[in-house]
Structure 1
Amino acid sequence: MDHLTDRDKLRLLYTLAVNSHPILLQIFPDVEGWPFPRYLGSCGRLLVSASTRPLRDFFGAAPEVAADLALQLLAVLRSMANNDLNYFFYFTHVDAGTFGVFSNGHLFIRDASTLGVIDKEEGSQLIDGQQEHRDIFSCLTADCQSVLVSCASIRDQHSLVMVCQELLPKLLSGKFQPLVQESIDAFLQRCARGLGDDGGASEAMAELAAILKPLRSCDSRFAYRYPDCRYSDKY
């Protein structure tokens, strides 16, 4: 923040303490491929955005729609953990309003205030016995008397497990043929318990994606990838 005036620094730090959502939308804009809505302006906790619906509205959706949204959700989690800028995003909380869906069927992160960001190039390990530095601004976002959560304690499975616990069962339960549904339910139960020692988040997401990909369709209901899905394996 060397290029900012003292007043700008105070404004930025206070905004981060009160509502980090608009700051994240500006730092990681949708035009660069980040899964957020376009930032048009904010006032307190009010943001202006294009027409969207929360993910909760799709819990009763048709099987092919549910499969498509679940695959998009996995793709968002994958991009948050592995991206060209080497940032690791993790959720501190997820619920049915965390994600939204545009009118073209494209899923995005609706509430960025529940995201934490780790710069993997800077590292997150503290030297044994070293205390994390705190100043007056640290107290804006956390209780100075409490111990802050170490970045090193956030595992690659963190966000996936939360989504398996809170969202995917509501989106995918009771939607598919018995054998397919049995595979999905078994995966979600294992994932919700923390995946155990069966592998990391990337392997788990690939496993679920392999089950879901044959279940989605390519038609005009999915305008964000139609008609491209007829000509490219990417969709």
Structure 2
Amino acid sequence: FDNSLVSNLELPSHSLPSYPANYSDDSKTWRPVEIFSLISRYQNEVSDRRICASISAPKTCSIERVLKKTERFQKWLQAKRLTPDLVQGLPSPLLRCPSQRLLDRVVRRYAEVADAGSIFMDHFTERDKLRLLYTLAINTHPILLQIFPGAEGWPLPKYLGSCGRLLISTSTRPLQEFYDSPPDRAADLAYQLLGVLESLRSNDLNYFFYFTHVDANMFGIFNNGHLFIRDASTLGVIDKQEGSQTATRTRENQDIFSCLVSGCQTQLPSCDTISEKHSLVLVCQQLLPLLLQGKFPSPVQEEIDLALTHCGESSRPDPEVLQAASQLKDILRPLRTCDPRFAYRYPDCKYDDRF
């Protein structure tokens, strides 16, 4: 990392969820990255207190030693393969309905161990297993970046590594910074966002992704104008190919890992209740109006507003919401311009209407 960030700049407060940095593989060429805290400073303190309290310890204790003695971790130590029963009770949306295929993908692509590529955990050290379990319990964002990498077409930034409770990934600007964008850029970003949701809903691997909630900081834009998911911590995954085992949070499978950053009483609804329209409704209600409102002349603006209204109505059947989103994309498509500001599709857009 660039030492000048420390020497010449005053680093932001520890309470910030992320801050910019420069990263280099060779100390000659530098690129912007973001350093994210997996959980907030307050959540870290609460988590540590809960861990120590679980053994009736005073204010401080050896976090690693306490977690290693838990019944869940002892089961992990004996396990050769990560199976759904080992993640029962963990609060992450990713593990709400875990399939064996998904968990195998987690182990096979986990980048923090040597010799990754096997679905078996024989090559995991004791500390490797604890690190993976702890990450799955507090924030699965870095796991999702590894198992669904942007290099394979997934709308996620590149994972560069982690250290302790910090994660490093390629830099993006949050969507919120673009709310005052000119009409053509707003149309382009909204079009991309709808496309991202479409790819999460329907893809070659037959995984259905959904958001438990959304906000403008969860999506980011690269320098080339390409929109990605900046924060995947609220992203759930349902395996449409293999089927998923609904996670339960009964007292039998609750432990300290279930309550590190969330209340132990949190209930997880059945995955059967997650509809195809789920993420679309959230985005059409909470994000797209702020990006598209009052940007276009009449009657285009009225058409956009009507499509947004229909897309954001949770009472409508899935086909109607999906149709409204498709209509909105059709309206937005010709409102985008083709110029170097949109480097992710320029100059291809000059020669091919698909861009």
> What TM-score does the superposition give when structure 1 sets the normalisation length?
0.89
Residue 258 (structure 2) aligns with: 139
Cα distance in structure 2, aligned partners of 1:230 and 1:54: 28
Q: 2:178 aligns with which of 58, 65, 86?
A: 58
Cα distance in structure 1, aligned partners of 2:267 and 2:291: 36
Equivalent AA in structure 2 for residue 139 of structure 1: S
| 2:203 is aligned with 1:83 | yes
- The answer (yes or no) to whether the contact 1:156–1:200 under 8 Å persists in 2 is no
Instruction: Count the aligned residue pairs.
Output: 231
Equivalent AA in structure 2 for residue 60 of structure 1: D
CA separation of 1:65/1:97 partners in 2, compared to 1, >3 Å: closer, same or farther?
Answer: same
Q: Render the CA deviation track for 1:74-132: whole Å, top value 9, x for unaligned.
A: 11000001011100110011111010000000000000101111111232487xxxx78
Q: How does 1:1-235 map to 2 (within 5 A)?
A: 2=81, 3-4=120-121, 5=124, 7=126, 8-44=128-164, 46-124=166-244, 135-136=253-254, 139=258, 145-194=265-314, 196-197=316-317, 199-235=319-355
Equivalent AA in structure 1 for residue 347 of structure 2: P
Shift of 1:191: 2.1
Relative contact order, CA 8 A, sep 6+: which one is greater? 1
- State the SS of the aligned residue for 1:89: strand
Equivalent AA in structure 2 for residue 13 of structure 1: L
Equivalent AA in structure 2 for residue 205 of structure 1: A
- The answer (yes or no) to whether the contact 1:64–1:217 under 8 Å persists in 2 is yes
Unpaired runs of at least 5, structure 1: none
CA separation of 1:52/1:125 partners in 2, compared to 1, >3 Å: closer, same or farther?
Answer: closer
Shift of 1:135: 2.9
- The answer (yes or no) to whether the contact 1:80–1:90 under 8 Å persists in 2 is yes
> What TM-score does the superposition give when structure 2 sets the normalisation length?
0.60
- The answer (yes or no) to whether the contact 2:145–2:159 under 8 Å persists in 1 is yes
- State the SS of the aligned residue for 1:148: coil
Shift of 1:192: 2.0
CA separation of 1:102/1:153 partners in 2, compared to 1, >3 Å: closer, same or farther?
Answer: same
Sequence identity percentage: 61
Unpaired runs of at least 5, structure 2: 1-79, 82-119
Structure number with greater Rg is 2
Shift of 1:46: 3.1
Cα distance in structure 2, aligned partners of 1:198 and 1:211: 20
Bigger drift between 164-173 and 48-57 goes to: 48-57
- The answer (yes or no) to whether the contact 2:172–2:222 under 8 Å persists in 1 is yes
- The answer (yes or no) to whether the contact 1:59–1:170 under 8 Å persists in 2 is yes
Equivalent AA in structure 2 for residue 110 of structure 1: R
Taking only aligned residues, the RMSD between alpha carbons, in angstroms, comes to 2.3
- The answer (yes or no) to whether the contact 1:19–1:44 under 8 Å persists in 2 is no
CA separation of 1:140/1:66 partners in 2, compared to 1, >3 Å: closer, same or farther?
Answer: same
- The answer (yes or no) to whether the contact 1:78–1:202 under 8 Å persists in 2 is no
CA separation of 1:21/1:179 partners in 2, compared to 1, >3 Å: closer, same or farther?
Answer: same
